[in-house]
Homo-oligomer: A and B are copies of this chain.
């Protein structure tokens, strides 16, 4: 069996050690005589798993008891709808920053069910940068400020987060666990699991408990954060398999030194690619330097007619998922926590070779 170098944007590479552990326990979890998928979500065995996933997230991100950690379904896309439905009270508005495709999807859902204002948009600049602090001014009637902390498609990220008086809400789907975060500066953090946390079909929501006081009793029960907080994410059957995988990923991140260690590894991996791109005229970065993502590195070939060939030859050489998102084209390497330094080094060597042959 030859494992490929997987640079997909999500679902994406998972730690081999986690996959091997899940494989070994597939028919019999810890002597239970059952697969984790066969366990009742009300069983003691599963309670230990969900507790383990929650405590892992709390330890790795330093989440205090002022916050609830929820395991929900529907990915970040359902959160785009749930956030305004839960946290924007009648007659109030919400502020959004439009840094790319994901942020603008969040705006779209917010506008469907009430008032929402886009404070700043990078659309005219092809989403090539994050705004400076002085470019943002929250609205007087805004219930929260929503940002996407890392844009998977544009390859940009907030290096520093805005200081706000209203609760700051961040979609961290494509960068959670890639750097330490001061959770206390946020009202709500959410992340689809399928990049740095585990498989798809799960969203992790970290919500300041007092914000749940805003939730209307006329909202569908299932769409209320309070429903899931009060039941320990067991109001209905959760995605038990994905929660189990998140627990294993948390253990793997901790054994690798925690989030701070992965921040260093990410910086090292990203530098290998950005240095190569900056050194030669053959490659070109469309992203402002200060806004560059360390999870999703996007670039172009100066000769764009060579891009299809690059992607094709890379795939033949075992490098998967390098095609830029269909909305922007170009090349993208997603280098999440599970992508090894060796994979990035191999990609860099391949790129140098391609440049030699085509430069």
Interface set of A (CB-CB < 8 Å, partner B): 1-4, 6, 8-14, 16, 19-20, 22-23, 26-28, 32-35, 37-41, 43, 73-78, 80-81, 85, 108-109, 112-113, 192, 194, 199-202, 218-223, 235-242, 245, 318, 320-321
Contacts and interface: CB of A to CB of B under 8 A. Distances in A.
Contacts of A3: 27-28, 33-34
Contact of A240 (B26, B28, B200, B222): B200
A40 to B, nearest CB: 5
B37 A81 contact: no
Interface of A is mostly: loop
B1 A236 contact: no
Contacts of A239: 73, 199-201, 239, 242
Nearest to A33: B4
A12 B237 CA distance: 11
The count of identical subunits is 2
A193 to B, nearest CB: 9
A218 to B, nearest CB: 6
A199 B33 CA distance: 17
Given A81-B220, A113-B220, A199-B37, A237 B1 contact: no
Contacts of A240: 11, 194, 199-201
A205 B234 CA distance: 22
